[in-house]
Amino acid sequence: MNPVEPETPGLSAAGDKYPVVWLVTGYRAGERSQVLALGEALGWPFSLKELAYRRTEFRTSLFRGSDLRGIRREASSSLRPPWPDLVISAGMRNEPVCRWIRAQQGGRTRIVHIGRPWAHPDNFDLVVTTPQYRLPDYPNILHNTLTLHRVTPQRLGQERERWRERFSHLPGPRTAVILGGNSGPYTLGARNARAIARQVSAHARQRGGALMISTSARTAPAVIDVFAREVDVPHALYRWRPGDPGNPYFGMLALCDDLVVTADSISMLSEACATGKPVWMAPLGGYGHPMREDVALPLDFRLSAWTYSLMMRVGPRRLSRDIRLVHRRLLEQGRVAWLGEPRASSTAASGDMARAVARVRELF
**What pLDDT does 59 receive?**
57
- 21-124 CATH: 3.40.50
Long-range interactions of 282-285: CB distance < 8 A, separation 24+: 282/196, 282/199, 282/200, 282/339, 283/338, 283/339, 284/183, 284/186, 284/187, 284/188, 284/192, 285/186, 285/187, 285/191, 285/192
At 311 the pLDDT is 86
Check residues 351 and 255 and name the one with the higher pLDDT.
255
User: Among candidates 105, 115, 142, 144, which has minimal Cα distance to 126?
Assistant: 142
Q: Say yes or no to pLDDT of 6 above 60.
A: no
Q: Where are the domains of the chain?
A: 21-124, 153-349
CATH architecture of 153-349: 3-Layer(aba) Sandwich (3.40)
The yes-or-no verdict on residue 239 having pLDDT over 80 is yes
Question: How confident is residue 346, by pLDDT bands cut at 50, 70 and 90?
Answer: low
Measured over the CA atoms of residue 174, residue 219, residue 56 and residue 133, the dihedral's sign is: positive
Residue 9 pLDDT > 60, yes or no? no
What pLDDT, on the 0 to 100 scale, is given for residue 349?
Answer: 66
Identical fold for domains 21-124 and 153-349, yes or no, is yes
> Rounded to two decimals, what is the model's pTM?
0.86
The pLDDT value recorded for residue 350 is 74
Q: What is the DSSP string of 107-172?
A: T--EEEEES--SS-GGG-SEEEE-GGG-----TTEEE-SS------HHHHHHHHHHHTTTTTTSPS
Q: What whole-number percentage of the chain has pLDDT above 70?
A: 91
What is the distance of C-alpha 263 from the center of its chain? 12
